[in-house]
Amino acid sequence: MDEKRWIGIVITAVAVAALPFQLITIPIFLIYEDYRSAICFRIMLSIGIADAFQILAMLSMGLGMTFDIEFDGMLEKILGAMLYAAFITVIMQHVVLALNRFMVFRNISVSKDKSAKEWLCFNVLIFLCWAWAAMFCVAYLSPICCMEFDDSTYMLAYNKEMVLCNVTKAIEFNTTAPAPVIGLFIYLLIIYKLIKNKQEFNTRNSPSGIGHINPSAQKPEKSRHRLFTSRELGILIQSFTGFIFAAIIFIAAQLRDLEAFQSCYFAGFVTVLWIMFCAIQPVMYLIMNSKIRRRSLLLLMCSTENSQSGSRISFSKKTGTVETQSSSIVSTDAVMIRRMKRKTSSIFLIYEDYRSAICFRIMLSIGIADTFQILAQLVMGLGMAFDVEFNGFLEEILGATLYAAFIAVIMQHVVLALNRFLVFRNFNVSNGQSTKEWLCFNVLIFLCWAWAAMFCAVFLSPICCMEFDDDTYMLRYSKEMVWCTVTHSVEFYTSAPAPIIGLCIYMLIIYKLVRGKQEFKMRNSSISDDHPTNPSVQNQDKSQRRFFTSRELGILIQSFIGFIFASIVFVAWQFRDMEKFVSRYFAGIVTVLWITFCAIQPIMYLIMNSKIRRRSLLLLMCSTENGRSGSRVTFQRFSMKTGSVEHQNTSVVSNEGVRVRRTKKKASIICHDPRD
């Protein structure tokens, strides 16, 4: 493995490890009112957003080096503009943060109140930092100045062939270099003020004589003349640590241009140090601030802290009940929605009624495979948009992901069709299922994935691989390898029967529906003849002999439409190899149809299933449903500004009717026992 790939792997690993810290802390500063209203945390939020942009740019660069992607065209400009402009705004905002710390410590009087002028001043400074960086971003994206990937140092640098690049670089250096100097001077002033006021503090609080000392008389005096709070000292240490890292990165970036430091290893070291700098701020927040740690943990668990009653509300997805646990009373803005251990981004994973149903389990498995296909197509589309040459290991990964996932999907659609046939064969729709049936379908799902995994392993092996076809702009089997032809034949003859078998099953279902409909009408007509004057008997008998539920019919329509799309994509995919259809436009149509097929299933779920629509909306609102019948739920809306209850509503709801509402600011929910 060459040094470029090794350095790319290290950069990618460090960036992947650093990015979650920013993704955890940035929402904390956005969610809570006490952080949004504090100037220092607003500056830290702005720095965190810029750091996230830098991590994303270096992560993209690391992935490109790992998979041997040639950086050229617009992609270099975007990555370079994102990286350099974000660093410019960060180094300047660290000076703004230092100035904020000086304003706090100048009189050693930590007050929660702030003047309107001070608030406006710091917000304007933040805006000016971003505006100045945006000007450089526009310059980097323009034709007069751009970034290029330096093959000697494996870093993004100014294009030396453009004259205006030297001018832009000079302006950038002359406007950015004073920032570390000014910031260091401000922090030295803060240290001087702290030392001076520490001496005055000790002098004021020292006993005036050796005689009798009254401790009770000294306590109020000490509280009035305290030096500083641990919270403000912690923020000062965090800001100073971040500033030192920013200054080191700035100096290292300037040394990189010197001939003595023109080395790929030194450049790689600077890049890793740069990524660590972007992660040091959120790491310091989590280490030194217990409130941020607690709120970050609650954000990961999607939990609720009830600020009024001192109780924590949690929801059991397994039992569908509301659980209340005692906890410490926290500030009024600490209202979060709890996410349980099993909760993920999918509705089918959150709710027990979906996880326990075989059909929804199969649909979940199909949805996961569709997601893999969409991601592979997305990466391929981005590569074509930014003129990235697909070569090496990246082609193998994309091809293996795309083809193996489609093999799993086309077979699981047959399994879903078989499940629908078993449901409709006797027209007895039951919520439960036998152990044998449950085991059988889970084994079939596993076999589909196992068969696809075998093909994935073959695609990643040296005997068979995928390559990007420049004629059709699609991933296909490599024509140079003999085993690719054998693998292609095995794939075709094992996948081709799936659409035929699935079509036969759905035709049997339609036949059973038509025949069952006739029998259903005959039974109902005989019931009307036997009991012409007793409507209750007729209604009871009809409910016992109902034809099918609308829910099962909707699932049948969804599964059938998904199967039809999968079959069309499979047939179109085979036409692609014929000489008449070897065209990039036909291949593009097939690719768009393929992506549409991957999206048709969830679209059908949202269109035809009101429960999934409701639960999806609640999930977007970071809410959930409680399935406990007869619960009396009181909804209270709290104003984060005044801390008072603005609205209260109590109602008794049914199994599916308990919803946790989140208002614009946040909502607090208090659950009462029905016996009260």
Q: What is the pLDDT of residues 509-567, one digit of tens each?
A: 998 888 877 877 777 776 656 555 555 545 544 444 455 677 888 888 889 998 998 89
Using a cut of 0.85, tell me whether the model's pTM lies above it: no
Give whole-number Cα distances, 214 to 201, 206, 407, 568, in Å: 19, 13, 84, 91
pLDDT for res 336: 33
Average pLDDT score over residue span 482-490: 84
What is the number of helices (H) and of strands (E) in the chain? Answer: 22, 11
In terms of DSSP H, where are the helices of 177-289? 178-205, 215-224, 230-255, 264-288
182-213 pLDDT tens trace: 999 999 999 998 888 888 877 877 665 444 44
Q: Are 52 and 276 in contact (CB under 8 A)?
A: no
Greater model confidence, 427 or 392: 392
Give whole-number Cα distances, 523 to 323, 428, 513, 517, 527, in Å: 48, 15, 15, 10, 6
Virtual CA dihedral for 222, 227, 228, 233, nearest 10 degrees? -140
Point out which residues pair with 156 in neighbouring strands. 149
Q: Are 405 and 370 in contact (CB under 8 A)?
A: yes
Q: Is the pLDDT of residue 387 over 50?
A: yes
Most confidently modeled range among 87-101, 251-265, 412-426: 87-101
- For residues 521 and 529, give the distance between their C-alpha atoms in angstroms, rounded to a whole number: 12
pLDDT for res 147: 79
Q: What angle do CA 620, 622, 626 make, to 5 degrees?
A: 110
- For residues 284 and 290, give the distance between their C-alpha atoms in angstroms, rounded to a whole number: 11
Q: Are 339 and 316 in contact (CB under 8 A)?
A: no
Out of 33-37, 115-119, 650-654, least confident range: 650-654
Whole-number average pLDDT of the chain: 76
Give the largest CA-CA distance in the chain.
112
Greater model confidence, 188 or 485: 188
Greater model confidence, 248 or 319: 248
Which residues make Cβ contacts (< 8 Å) with residue 338, sequence separation at least 6? 298, 301, 302, 303, 304, 312, 313, 314, 315
- For residues 566 and 556, give the distance between their C-alpha atoms in angstroms, rounded to a whole number: 15
Confidence of residue 433 (pLDDT cuts 50, 70, 90): low
In terms of DSSP H, where are the helices of 289-336? 290-301
Out of 198-212, 273-287, 337-351, 531-545, least confident range: 337-351
Q: Which helix (H) or strand (E) holds 450?
A: helix 435-460
Q: Are 634 and 602 in contact (CB under 8 A)?
A: no
Tell me what percent of the residues of the chain surpass a pLDDT of 90.
Answer: 23
Give the DSSP letter of residue 580.
G
Strands 645-652 and 632-638 come out as antiparallel
pLDDT for res 592: 86
Greater model confidence, 175 or 297: 175
Give the DSSP letter of residue 480.
T
Q: Is the pLDDT of residue 109 over 50?
A: no
- List the one residue out of 128, 240, 237 whose CA is nearest residue 183: 240
pLDDT for res 546: 53
Average pLDDT score over residue span 607-616: 83
Q: Is the pLDDT of residue 82 over 60?
A: yes
pLDDT for res 42: 92
For the chain, which domains are there? Answer: 3-203+229-299 (1.20.1070.10), 317-343+624-672 (no CATH), 365-611 (1.20.1070.10)
- List the one residue out of 464, 504, 501 whose CA is nearest residue 484: 464
Average pLDDT score over residue span 220-244: 74
Q: Are 667 and 661 in contact (CB under 8 A)?
A: yes
Average pLDDT score over residue span 642-654: 42
pLDDT for res 321: 40
pLDDT for res 397: 86
Which residues make Cβ contacts (< 8 Å) with residue 47, sequence separation at least 6? 90, 93, 94, 97, 242, 281
Average pLDDT score over residue span 410-421: 93
The position carrying tokens 């099918």 is: 548
Q: Is the pLDDT of residue 341 over 50?
A: no
Confidence of residue 348 (pLDDT cuts 50, 70, 90): confident
pLDDT for res 123: 92
- List the one residue out of 618, 662, 670 whose CA is nearest residue 640: 662
Q: Are 333 and 37 in contact (CB under 8 A)?
A: no
Q: Are 111 and 232 in contact (CB under 8 A)?
A: no
- List the one residue out of 390, 377, 373, 374 whose CA is nearest residue 64: 390
Confidence of residue 131 (pLDDT cuts 50, 70, 90): very high
pLDDT for res 382: 84
148-166 pLDDT tens trace: 887 777 778 787 777 788 8
pLDDT for res 107: 63
Tell me what percent of the residues of the chain surpass a pLDDT of 70.
Answer: 73
pLDDT for res 207: 61
Q: How many CB atoms lie within 10 A of CB 208?
A: 6
Long-range contacts of 618-621 (CB under 8 A, 24+ apart): 618/659, 618/660, 619/345, 619/347, 619/350, 621/661, 621/662
pLDDT for res 240: 93
The position carrying tokens 């002359």 is: 174
